[in-house]
Amino acid sequence: MLSPIRKQVVDEWFINGMNAYKAYMKVKPFVKKNSAKQLAVILFKREDVQKYIEQKRNKMDNKSKIELEYLIKELVSIVESVKEEEIERDDRNRITSKPDRASALKAIDILAKIAGAYTNKIDVTTKGESLNLRDLIDFREDDE
């Protein structure tokens, strides 16, 4: 069973961007800096702490999936509602209202991003190699 103090340190670790030292110091500020670094490493290697971290991550993943499913349903309903709308005309055949195509296009764009449609990246300059800025910038001083 994980102690309340250890849970607090792990919870703080998630909050602060996963910095074990800072999390440990926030929960136990009276500990010396060097000791806190070592104790944080030891704490995060513990099996019970690793299990707690895994549980929290699973909870976060499940919550994200639920929220994502809801968002997708809402976006799809926007697209479908715009499809069903028709251009309305008055007795003189003038347009009085038309479907909000911009909302539908934005919803489709968001759905495409969620689906990963825009993740294909084309590397046209480096052929997959790392880009070294020193190769692009001349740091030498002019001799003039």
Q: What is the pLDDT of residues 13-29, one digit of tens each?
A: 888 888 899 999 999 99
Residue 72 contacts residue 110 (beta carbons within 8 Å): no
- The tally of domains found in the chain comes to 2
User: Do both 67 and 25 map to the same domain?
Assistant: no
Query: Which amino acid appears at position 23 of this protein?
Result: A
Q: Can you give the residue range of the structural domain that contains 8?
A: 4-45
Would you say residue 132 lies in a domain? no
User: Do both 13 and 41 map to the same domain?
Assistant: yes
pTM to 2 decimal places: 0.47
d(CA 25, CA 22): 5
Would you say residue 133 lies in a domain? no
**In whole angstroms, how large is the CA radius of gyration of the chain?**
27
User: Do both 107 and 78 map to the same domain?
Assistant: yes
Average pLDDT, the chain: 76
User: Do both 40 and 67 map to the same domain?
Assistant: no
User: Do both 67 and 110 map to the same domain?
Assistant: yes
